[in-house]
Amino acid sequence: MKRSDDTGKNIAQLEAQIKELSSGLELMQARVEELEEQVSHRDKKIRSLEMEKKTLLRRLYGPKSDRPGDEAQMLLEGIVMGLEARPAEEAAQEEVAEVAQKKKKKRSKPTGRQILPEHLERRVEEVDLSEEEKIDPETGQRLILIGWESRERLVEEPARFYVQVLKRAKYARPGRGDGGPGQPAVITAPEPEHHGNPIDRCKADVSVLANIIVFKYCYHLTLYRLQERYWRCARVWLPRSTLCGWVSGCAVALEAIYFEMKRRILISAYLGLDDTLVKMLDPGAGKAANTRLWVYAGLLESAPYLLYDFTLTREKEGVLEFLGDFQGHLQGDAYSGHHEMMHRDGVIEVACWDHGRRYFVDASDEDPSAAAEALAHIKLLYKVERELVQEDAERRRATRQERSVPVLDKLEAWLKDKQEKYLPKSGMRSAINYCLNQWEALKVYTTDGNIPISNCLCEQSFKAIATGRKNWLFFGSEEGGRNAAILFSITMTCRRLDLDPYAYLEDVLRRVNTHPADRIEELLPDHWKRQREASGQDVRLRLEDHRPLRVAS
């Protein structure tokens, strides 16, 4: 009986041990599953960080254009050719036309050294032999002049400064000490119109003021460098506070033109917008504040202006205040702060295909084949746009409906098919989600020939800001930011119109304070350019390396 009891105890102990081992096993299995989940999560995180690292390295050290990874780039052309599959006859005809067009456009390469421009003044210096050297020592006869050996060099003289003294005659009325009622005792000759100045009692002529604006906002020279320039060229030391005051005074004088440009751009049917970060000094905070500079671009045909606006934050209130009651097509990126302004009554949201394409470029190292296929569809859309640059709006709309809409339909089906095949936080999934979330806005450009396929004009207009930030670094105050917005608007609009900003400012600054307010449109850059060209003046920049900014049609 005792043995039976011992056996029962042993069995109970074994069962307890089995239970304990089973619970331990379950605990270990749970632990293993937890560790596997952690490893899987870390693997995903590592892959994500590796992709991010590749993207950042490509942006830092790779081509500055939105070029996909090498493998995706190799696949891209083949996929495009496949998507463009057309009857052999049609393809052959198009190829012949393209070759003929290239031959037509091809310029013969200049040989030898470039000839210096003919319009430059020629100062000729002649070097001749002495009278003794003109006698042949062997025959004693005088040498015969058969010609000259010429060489041309470009010479630069430092800028020439001088002081202009304006003397206005003063006349007294004989026998009238006080001049009588309503009659002045002394009559002074009126100041000529060409001596106008936007700043009262300013010691600088408008030619100097215009140069300061052009150097600062077109060529990004800081004021302390301009100080050194004036000292080196003319031994004139201009205090920096004086230069700041002159810049501010010019901005205030040009404010009426800025607001007229704003009024006209807001009544147009299309507006593109974008923003960029600019630092501003914030005394007492210990660091510079992050402020924003916004750009608003109209169509070249109707409102060819680039308007900049300064705000202290990126919050929606600043943009809503600028836009006011704007109604029409509004093109921008998918920034969440744009949601309210894009969905107001009378506003039609237009998305940018450059942004959509950029997501696939960033994800091209993750899945080269899929990224190349998406980029191939987008490339076809841009190919259609390149062919329509010189066409009118109605022709562009009809061609987009005929050729671009089918490509968009295929791309939409492809995006929906691929969407669930990628992890939620992967680069390809982000690219696909961006396009599908913005799909209706991305298709809007096909319904109107005036709307560009991308918002690249706004992005290009920030090149001047990006270059300037590396020189002047920050705005000194809120007032400085607002003045910069006005002056950037004027100079960048001139550049967009291929108009010499110095010629424009040198004339307008003389007249803006006395010009009738109800005729302010005569001083707008596009109107001013047309007036000068009608009178036979050439006020274009005529730059070969820097073409004027245009709307991407």
Which of 146-150, 424-428, 494-498 shows the lowest per-residue confidence on average (mean pLDDT)?
A: 424-428
SS3 annotation, 74-140: HHHHHHHHHHCCCCHHHHHHHHHHHHHHHHHHCCCCCCCCCCCCCCCCCCCCCCCCCCCCCECCCCC
Q: How far does the chain reach from its first CA to its final CA, in angstroms? A: 102
Residue keyed to tokens 């506003």: 347
SS3 138: coil
Which of 10-24, 282-296, 322-336, 459-473 shows the lowest per-residue confidence on average (mean pLDDT)?
A: 10-24
Residue 462 CB neighbour total at 10 angstroms = 18
Give me the mean pLDDT over the 320-340 stretch: 86
SS3 329: strand
Which of 36-40, 315-319, 367-371, 512-516 shows the lowest per-residue confidence on average (mean pLDDT)?
A: 36-40
CB-based contact 79:364 (threshold 8 Å): no
pLDDT tens readout for residues 101-132: 555 555 555 555 667 888 888 999 999 999 88
pLDDT of residue 547: 45
SS3 annotation, 410-441: HHHHHHHHHHHHCCCCCHHHHHHHHHHHCHHH
- In this prediction, residue 5 has a pLDDT band, given cuts at 50, 70 and 90, of low
Q: Tokens at residue 412, please?
A: 């939409």
189 pLDDT above the threshold of 80: yes
pLDDT of residue 343: 84
Output 156 or 451, whichever has higher pLDDT. Answer: 451
CB-based contact 103:397 (threshold 8 Å): no
SS3 148: coil
The residue type found at 152 is E
89 pLDDT above the threshold of 80: no
Mean of pLDDT over the chain: 84
165 pLDDT above the threshold of 60: yes
pLDDT of residue 552: 36
Q: Where does 106-234 have alpha helices with state H?
A: 206-217, 223-234
CB-based contact 303:265 (threshold 8 Å): yes
**Cα–Cα separations (whole angstroms), residue 22 to 7, 16, 31, 33, 545:** 22, 10, 14, 16, 78
**Cα–Cα separations (whole angstroms), residue 463 to 190, 220, 347, 372:** 45, 11, 28, 28
- In this prediction, residue 546 has a pLDDT band, given cuts at 50, 70 and 90, of very low
Which of 244-258, 334-348, 428-442 shows the lowest per-residue confidence on average (mean pLDDT)?
A: 334-348
pLDDT of residue 205: 92
Q: Which helix (H) or strand (E) holds 153?
A: none
Give me the mean pLDDT over the 139-158 stretch: 88
pLDDT of residue 427: 85
In angstroms, the CA 2 to CA 8 distance is 10
pLDDT of residue 88: 47
In angstroms, the CA 22 to CA 28 distance is 10
In angstroms, the CA 41 to CA 36 distance is 8
Residue keyed to tokens 């950037």: 488
Beta pairing partners, 187: 171
User: Nearest 5 degrees, angle CA 118-CA 120-CA 123?
Assistant: 110
pLDDT of residue 278: 94
pLDDT tens readout for residues 264-308: 999 999 999 999 999 999 888 888 999 999 999 999 888 999 999
pLDDT of residue 25: 81
Q: Which helix (H) or strand (E) holds 475?
A: strand 474-475
**Which residues 6+ apart lie within 8 Å of 350 measured at CB?**
270, 329, 330, 331, 332, 441, 444, 445, 451
- In this prediction, residue 49 has a pLDDT band, given cuts at 50, 70 and 90, of confident
- In this prediction, residue 553 has a pLDDT band, given cuts at 50, 70 and 90, of very low
Which of 59-68, 193-202, 212-221, 522-531 shows the lowest per-residue confidence on average (mean pLDDT)?
A: 59-68
Which of 4-8, 348-352, 546-550 shows the lowest per-residue confidence on average (mean pLDDT)?
A: 546-550
Which of 95-99, 222-226, 258-262, 269-273 shows the lowest per-residue confidence on average (mean pLDDT)?
A: 95-99
